[in-house]
Structures are given as C-alpha cells and as structure tokens.
Structure 1
Amino acid sequence: MAAPRKTIISSGLGQYAGSDANALKHFGADAQSKVKAMLAESIQKANDAGFDVIAVDANPQDPEDTMKRFTEALKSHEAVGFNVGFGLRGHKEHTELFEKLVNNAVQARPGIKIMFSNGPGEVITAIRRNFPEDF
C-alpha cells in the first residue's frame, strides 16, 4: 500500500512576480512567465514524489486578498508543511505579509513544518530537506 500523500502549501510571488521590482531585477522583464514555469516544474517533481502542493501566490499589492486565499487553503487542506519563497521573505518590503502568513499557518495548523525555498524552482528542495523520510 502506498504511503498517504502529504499536502504542502507554498506561498511566493508566483503570478505577481511581474509586478515586483525585486523579481523583475532578478528574472528580467519576463519574470512572471519564468517564475511560473520554474514553480510548475518544481511542483510537478513534488507531486511525483507523493506530495500535493497547493500554491497560494502572494500579492504584495493586496495583502488582504492574499491572507483570505491563504486562510481558505489552510482550512480546506490538511497541510503538514508551509513553504515560503525567497521573493516573499527575502525583501524587507514584504516582511509584514511574510510574518502574517507564517503566524497564520502556525496558529491554524499547530505542528506544521515551516520551510523556506530559495526560489520558485526550489520548492522540491525545501520539501526534501524537511521530509527526508519520503525520499
């Protein structure tokens, strides 16, 4: 019998990378497409390894909507992990939203593993680091 799948909620800039100055600086004018492609590939690798990754793109221009969508994801999934991407946590202008997301995850799901990926293509790396027994 196969091991049950584990759910990870992952939050980064995703579709909003194209409007973030830091993402544009790092990924270039096509930041949104590059980030989405890298994220999709990393999520597929996680899915292939037995994880269900729920991506909740963080919109720094609309933190209330981001929190609403994130809270809905926490309520509707039995997540065992929460990953935060570097684009969200690595820049001081996003600190307040980053803190709110992490605190919300810890409060809603006591014992949830908090993970940090170093970019959109590294979600699988953060999962491997935090769930080595599944690899």
Structure 2
Amino acid sequence: MASPRKAIISSGLGQFAANDQNAMAHFGPDAAARVKAMLASSIEQANQAGFDVIAVDANPQNPEDTMKRFTKTLENREVVGVNIGFGLRGHKEHTELFEKMLNAAVAIRPGIKIMFSNGPGEVITAIRRNFPEDF
C-alpha cells in the first residue's frame, strides 16, 4: 500500500513578485511569470515524490489578507510542513509578515516542519532536505 501524500504549504511572493522591487531586480520585469514557472517545476517534482504543495502567495502590501489565507489553509488542511521562500524572508521590509506566518504555523500545527527555500525553483530542495526518507 502506498504511503499517504504529505501536504506542504509553500509561501513566497508568487503572483505578488511583480509588485516587489527586490523580486523585480532579481527576476526582471516579468518577475511574476518567471517565479510562477520556476515554482510550477519545483511543485511538479514534489508531486512526483508524493507531496501536495499548496502555494499561498504572500502579499507584503496586504499582510492581513495574506495571514487570512495562510491561516485558513493551515486550519483546513492536514499539513506536515511550511516552506517560506527567500523573497519573503530575505528582505527586512517583510520581516514582520515573515514572523507572523511562522508563529501562526507553529501555533496552529505544533510540530510542523519549518523549511526555507532559496528561490521558487528550490522548493523541492527544501522538501528533500526535510523529508529525506521520502526520496
């Protein structure tokens, strides 16, 4: 019998990369499209390994909405891990939102694995690092 699929929330700037100066500087004027393509590839690799990756894009310009969507996903899905991307955690202007997300994850899902990817194409790398038994 196959082992059950593990759900992971991955949160980065995603569609909101087009509104972020740091993302635009790194990925260029089509930042959102590039981020989306890189994330899709990484998610596909995770899916093939038996993980369901739930992308919850973080909008630093609307942290209340971000937290509402993020906590709702934590509450409504049996998730084993949360990945936070570098675009969100690597820039001081996003620190408060980053902290709120981590604190919510630990409060809602005690024992959850916290992971950090270095870019949208490296979500699979963070999952492999934290769940080596699945690879």
TM-score by length of 1: 0.99
- Residue 66 of structure 1 deviates from its aligned partner by 0.1
User: Superposition pairs for residues 1-135 of structure 1, below 5 Å?
Assistant: 1-135=1-135
Deviation readout 1:12-63 (Å, 9 max, x if unpaired): 0000001100000000001010000000110111011100000000000000
Query: Across the two proteins, how many residue pairs are aligned to each other?
Result: 135
Deviation readout 1:98-131 (Å, 9 max, x if unpaired): 0000000000000000000000000000000000
Name the SS of the counterpart of 1:2 in structure 2. Answer: coil
Name the SS of the counterpart of 1:3 in structure 2. Answer: coil
Runs of 4+ in 1 over 6 A off after TM superposition: none
Structure 1 unaligned spans of 5+: none
- Residue 3 of structure 1 deviates from its aligned partner by 0.8
* Distance in structure 1 (CA, Å) of the matches to 2:86 and 2:104: 18
* Distance in structure 2 (CA, Å) of the matches to 1:60 and 1:36: 17
Name the SS of the counterpart of 1:110 in structure 2. Answer: coil
- Residue 79 of structure 1 deviates from its aligned partner by 0.4
* Distance in structure 2 (CA, Å) of the matches to 1:104 and 1:11: 13
**AA at the equivalent of 2:70:** F
* Distance in structure 1 (CA, Å) of the matches to 2:27 and 2:11: 18
Instruction: Give identity over the alignment, percent.
Output: 78
- Residue 68 of structure 1 deviates from its aligned partner by 0.2
* Distance in structure 1 (CA, Å) of the matches to 2:109 and 2:50: 21
* Distance in structure 1 (CA, Å) of the matches to 2:70 and 2:58: 9
Structure 2 unaligned spans of 5+: none
